[in-house]
Amino acid sequence: MFICPGQAATLERIAASKGEDFYRGRLAKAIADHARATGGLIDEEDLAAHECDWVEPLSIAYRGLVLHEIGPSGQGIAALMALGMLATLDLKGAGFDTALSHHLQIEAMKLAFADLQAYVADPDAMRIVTAEQLLSPQYLASRARLIHPDRAAPARAGAPHSGGTVYLTAADQKGMMVSFIQSNFKGFGSGVVVPDTGIALHNRGWGFTLKPGHPNQVAPRKRPFHTIIPGFLTRGGMPLMSFGLMGGSMQAQGHLQVVVRVADHGQNPQAASDSPRWRILDDNSTVAVEWNFPPEAVEGLRARGHEVRMAKRFDTEFGSAQLALKTEHGYIAASDHRKDGYPVGF
C-alpha cells in the first residue's frame, strides 16, 4: 500500500479551490519557495500568470474521416500534414503492410517532421509560418510531389507561403467521448518534488531550442514545443474514435499509422494497435521497425534507400495506444500490448 499524505492534502486543496491554490495560493508559494531554495527560476508571478486556453482543434480530412489534433505548440500538426500528403497518393493501392505503403508513410512523416522542427512553436511566436499555412492543401500537395515511390530522400523544411506519458479515453452511453493525455516528460519529469506536496515538476522546457531567431527559441512567458497530443476522428461530422498514443516523437507517427490502418485498410482499433510499427528516429532519416515487421517490407524499404534498424522484441519505443471506436450499438475499446493499459466497460 502506497500512502502519500502530502499529496492527498494537495489534491484536497486543488479540489476545494478549483485549482486556484496551485497557481495563487499556499501550493503556489510552496512551489516558488522550493525553486528559490534549489536554484530554480519559477516564482509566484510565473504561476499566477498561467492561463488555460480553450482552443479549436486543427483537423484534416482523410478518406472520408476527419482527424482532429490540438495545434501548436504540440506535434499533432505533423500527423495532419503527413495525412494531407498521403491523401494525394493511392495508399490503398499500394497494398496492406507492403514496403511501398510503409515507404510512402515514412517519407510523408519525414517531410512533416522537417517542417515541425523548423516552424512549430508557441502559436504566439509563429509569425513567419502559421499552422494554417502548413496545412494548406496546395502546400501539402507540393510536399507530396517530393515523395518518390522507389527511393528514400533527405527531408528538408519547405517554404510555405502566407499559408513518461499517460493517455486515457472515456466514452458514455450518450455518445460523449473524451481524449486526454498528460505527461511530466523525460524521466517522469525534472526529478524535483516540492516537499510535503507530492507535486513533481515537469521538464518540458527541454522542448525549447537555443538557436537564435528560431520561433521555438527559449524565452520567458512562452510555451515550449511539446509532444503530447490527444487524437480524435470524426465521420460525417459525428464522433467516431477517441484515441492517443504515448511515446515522445512516436506520437504523431503513431497517429498517422493508426489512422491509415483504420481508414485505408478497415482494421478495428485493437488490430490497428497490435500491428507492427515503424519509427523515424531523431535524425529524421533512420527508420526503426518492430521485431515482427514484415520481412519483405523491410527488404523493400532498404531497397529504396532507407536505413532500417530492427528493434528487439520488447523494445518500448514504439508507443502505446488506447482507443475507443463508436459503433451503432456501443463502443469497441482497445489497449496496446506494448505497455500497461486496460480497456474496460461498465
Kindly report, residue by residue over 255-274, the tens digit of the pLDDT.
Answer: 999 999 999 999 999 999 99
pTM of the shown model? 0.87
Region of residue 127 (phi > 0: left; psi between -120 and 50: alpha; otherwise: beta): alpha
Kindly report, residue by residue over 72-107, the tens digit of the pLDDT.
Answer: 999 999 999 999 999 999 999 999 999 999 999 999
**What is the pLDDT at residue 161?**
62
Res. 187: pLDDT tops 80: no
Res. 129: pLDDT tops 70: yes
The catalytic residue among 165, 169, 197, 227 is 165
Res. 70: pLDDT tops 60: yes
CB 72 within 8 A of CB 58: no
Q: Tell me which residue has cell 521497425.
A: 289
Residue 66: alpha-carbon gap to chain centroid: 16
**What is the pLDDT at residue 128?**
83
238 is written with which cell numbers?
459525428
CB 79 within 8 A of CB 67: yes
Res. 283: pLDDT tops 90: yes
**What is the pLDDT at residue 302?**
98
Q: Residue 24: which pLDDT band, with cuts at 50, 70 and 90? A: very high
Res. 139: pLDDT tops 90: yes
Which residues are 179's β-sheet partners?
Answer: 169
Q: What is the mean pLDDT of residues 210-224?
A: 94
Q: Is 165 a catalytic residue?
A: yes
Kindly report, residue by residue over 190-209, the tens digit of the pLDDT.
Answer: 889 999 999 999 999 999 99
Q: Residue 226: which pLDDT band, with cuts at 50, 70 and 90? A: very high
**What is the pLDDT at residue 40?**
92
234 CB-near residues (< 8 Å, 6+ apart):
65, 66, 68, 240
Kindly report, residue by residue over 230-258, the tens digit of the pLDDT.
Answer: 999 999 999 999 999 998 899 999 999 99
Question: What whole-number percentage of the chain has pLDDT above 70?
Answer: 99
CB 334 within 8 A of CB 269: yes
Residue 92's nearest CA partner among 285, 270, 334, 262 is 262
Concatenate the DSSP letters of all residues of 174-238 into one string.
TS-EEEEEEE--TTTSSS-EETTTTEE---GGGG-B--TT-TTB--TT-PPPB----EEEEETTE
For the domain made up of 58-164+226-335, give the CATH fold.
Answer: Serum Albumin; Chain A, Domain 1 (1.10.246)
Cα–Cα distance list, 196 to 34, 110, 257 (Å): 11, 45, 43
CB 335 within 8 A of CB 271: no
Across the chain, mean pLDDT equals: 94
Kindly report, residue by residue over 328-340, the tens digit of the pLDDT.
Answer: 999 999 999 998 8
Q: Residue 163: which pLDDT band, with cuts at 50, 70 and 90? A: very low
Q: Residue 162: which pLDDT band, with cuts at 50, 70 and 90? A: very low
